[in-house]
Structure 1
Amino acid sequence: MNSKIVTFSTVLILCAAIFLCGCTTTPQSDSGNQTPAGTTAPVETTAAAAGQIITVYHAGSLAAPFEELEKQYETAHPGVDVRLVPGGSTKLVKDITDLGKSADVFASADYTLIPTLMMPTSADWYVTFAKNQIVLCYTNQSKYAGEVNADTWYTILEKPDVQWACSDPNLDPCGYRSLMAIQLAEQHYGNDTIFDRVVSEHSNITVTEENGTYTLLATSPEPKDTFQIRPKSVELVQMLQNGGIDYAWEYRSVAEQNGLNFVELPEAIDLSSVTYADDYAKVTIETAGGLMTAKPIVYGATVPKNAENPEGGIAFVQMLVGSEGQAVMNAQGQPPIVPAGGFGTVPAELKALTASP
């Protein structure tokens, strides 16, 4: 009797052992399919595990070209995950420098934010890679759409039944550039009431003049009546398309990318030409980020010192300033600077693609 009990127990133990061995030699993949006995289950590789995430903070006006660059980069570098974080350039700088947020690339709509707000503490080099211009956008449904042009636009913005907007000058370069363009219009058209009638009468933004230099005070805009402000210039596109406003200040590239009508302003106003650099410089603006001087619109990029993947950041900038990036920027209405300008301690990988002043 006892021998039978022992024999039966032995059989149960052997069966359990066989069952357990079978479980450990036939692991399942995530899809539920079993790996054949005698083979090794494949090891999954993720972008995070390989350290191949590239976080790109960029101006909202760079959204379209950078989405294209993201696709091209990920196609050329399988396993790499490019993560785009759009926003107002001034805000993004503060996120990096004041809040300590990590970015592998920072691309600004105003290159001067890098040397003035980031160097030398948060960055030690940058490249200049593209240009743009300020335009006044509208749709076929905008009030007085059939009358607006390069000579009449400011008289239309003065009208009490016209709603217009720009982005926040304290968060977005397009915002302070829009206000600069309106002030520059006074000199071009010989009318020193334009800024007051269009802007100051509908906000807390004021202007003072000293020795031929005009300073706009916009730290607390407080728009009202016919004038609206939004954090980012790209937010104004939907407002225009939905009929929430009649006119909006944008970069030409954004207007073209979204199929908007726009008034092409004289070069003396639109901040596009180095020929007028001295005239532009007669207008400055005081914002929460400091005093900004009007200058030709030039985009800049760097790899911040707090980058978690600086090698990946440099590789992305290589594509940006190389032939692939130049073609993308040109197709999106943002003429590339060829070769890109290089300033500060430019990485060796970029020196052949840049020119120092």
Structure 2
Amino acid sequence: MQLRKVNARRIQGSLSAMALLALLLAACSAAPAAQTGDTPAAAELEGKIIIFHAGSLTVPVDALTEAFQAQHPKVRFETEASGSNAAARKISELGRQADLMLSSDYTVIEELLMPDFADWYVQFARNTMVIAYTDQSLYADEVDADKWYEVLTREGVVVGRGDPDVDPCGYRTLMVWQLAEKYYELAGLDESLDAACPPQNVRPKSEGLLALLQSGDMDYAWEYRSVAVQHGLEFVELPDEINLSKVEHTDFYAQAIVEIAGEEPGASMTMTGKPITYGVTIPQVAPSPDLALEFVKFLIGPQGQAIMEQHGQPPIVPAVATSKASLPADLLLLVE
């Protein structure tokens, strides 16, 4: 199977066109109600929505909140990006309040927030692990289908990743390394990739590597595909068998196991490889749960899905709720 070098700028153009068409269709479908005076009650929304979200969602969340505010000018937002594990611990350990928690791994909601701090979650988007770089990166003209792991392990090449204890992209990077060793049948590849990415090249969230990459202080960074697209970076697409993107490879992904910091000091959690799936919940401590619910409906509806697609992140259509027992009634018809 051949890996591909991809230029995000070409992708952004086609995605933007598709997203614009979807948004225009959504606007047209809403027009008759406005013309007849049948304005939804949600048009009178007012208040503040506090969002804790994964760093990889920074650009989409900015676009989503801007679009939501265009429809509801009296709604204000406070958004805070971090690793998903760190976002959950702000609620469970630091006692902070948030109306929404958007995680790059729904498992974080299951493990760190339910059942004491959240009752439900919805899976709303997917992603893919890639290797991001720029045209100034060492050996940028050589990194390809056959040589990506050879290039990353060469002397002098600077490679970065996220911290697995606070950032799902961090532990997913370690999973990719394990899977690559099995897929390519190269004993010791996992250890070689780990040695090529020393502790000083690890950041609390993978998005923190972008400035280093763009300044030339780092050659390659393990990132989500959506982040590479959003920031106009070059990236290598890995085989589906190791990039954690495909449901059909779930059994193979499950061979990757990573231990990360648990809920209590000194405790650990076992994370098992699975397709990358984002989750959203309204924590029990939400100051404005009704407003938050309206935003979730927007997020998993046609306009929110179009915005996610525009930013290189495939939405799950329809969104998925693994358990509907505690799901708000307003969401039941929007999920499967």
Q: Deviations over 1:75-127 (max 9, x none)?
A: 11121102211110000111111111101000000011111221110001100
Aligned-pair CA distance for 1:153: 1.1
Aligned-pair CA distance for 1:294: 0.7
Name which structure has the greater RCO, CA cutoff 8 Å, separation 6+: 2
Alpha carbons of 1:202 and 1:262: their partners in 2 closer, same or farther (altered >3 Å)?
closer
1:303 matched residue in structure 2: 282
1:3 matched residue in structure 2: none
Mapped partners of 1:144, 1:87: distance in 2 = 31
Mapped partners of 2:197, 2:103: distance in 1 = 29
Q: Specify the SS of the correspondent of 1:186.
A: helix
Aligned-pair CA distance for 1:150: 2.9
- Pick the aligned partner of 1:168 from 134, 139, 163: 163
2:209 is the alignment partner of 1:236: yes
Is contact 1:106–1:302 with CA below 8 Å preserved after alignment? Answer: yes
> Does 128-137 or 50-59 show the bigger shift?
50-59
Please list, as runs of the form range in 1=range in 2, the aligned pairs for 1:297-336 lying within 5 A after superposition: 297-336=276-315
Aligned-pair CA distance for 1:151: 2.1
> What TM-score, normalized by structure 1, do the two folds share?
0.78
Amino acid at match of 2:333: A
1:352 matched residue in structure 2: 333
Is contact 1:93–1:118 with CA below 8 Å preserved after alignment? Answer: yes
Please list, as runs of the form range in 1=range in 2, the aligned pairs for 1:98-137 lying within 5 A after superposition: 98-137=93-132
- Where structure 1 has 5 or more consecutive residues not aligned to the other structure, the ranges are 1-49, 204-222
Is contact 1:137–1:261 with CA below 8 Å preserved after alignment? Answer: yes
Is contact 1:150–1:266 with CA below 8 Å preserved after alignment? Answer: no
Is contact 2:133–2:219 with CA below 8 Å preserved after alignment? Answer: yes
Aligned residues: 284
Amino acid at match of 2:252: D
Mapped partners of 2:143, 2:196: distance in 1 = 21
1:253 matched residue in structure 2: 226
Q: Deviations over 1:296-343 (max 9, x none)?
A: 000000000010111111111110000111000011111010110113
Is contact 2:152–2:196 with CA below 8 Å preserved after alignment? Answer: no
Is contact 2:133–2:221 with CA below 8 Å preserved after alignment? Answer: yes
Is contact 2:159–2:197 with CA below 8 Å preserved after alignment? Answer: no
1:269 matched residue in structure 2: 242
CA RMSD of aligned residues (A): 1.3
Q: Deviations over 1:187-221 (max 9, x none)?
A: 11110111111214765xxxxxxxxxxxxxxxxxx
1:7 matched residue in structure 2: none
Q: Specify the SS of the correspondent of 1:269.
A: coil
Is contact 1:129–1:300 with CA below 8 Å preserved after alignment? Answer: yes
Alpha carbons of 1:240 and 1:200: their partners in 2 closer, same or farther (altered >3 Å)?
closer
Name the larger-Rg structure. 1
Q: Specify the SS of the correspondent of 1:234.
A: helix
> What TM-score, normalized by structure 2, do the two folds share?
0.82
Mapped partners of 2:310, 2:203: distance in 1 = 27
1:18 matched residue in structure 2: none
Aligned-pair CA distance for 1:51: 6.5
Aligned-pair CA distance for 1:182: 1.2
2:64 is the alignment partner of 1:69: yes
Is contact 1:136–1:250 with CA below 8 Å preserved after alignment? Answer: yes
Alpha carbons of 1:73 and 1:201: their partners in 2 closer, same or farther (altered >3 Å)?
closer
Amino acid at match of 1:148: V
Please list, as runs of the form range in 1=range in 2, the aligned pairs for 1:79-90 lying within 5 A after superposition: 79-90=74-85
- Where structure 2 has 5 or more consecutive residues not aligned to the other structure, the ranges are 1-44, 263-268
Is contact 2:309–2:315 with CA below 8 Å preserved after alignment? Answer: yes
Mapped partners of 1:63, 1:187: distance in 2 = 33
Mapped partners of 1:193, 1:103: distance in 2 = 43
2:175 matched residue in structure 1: 180
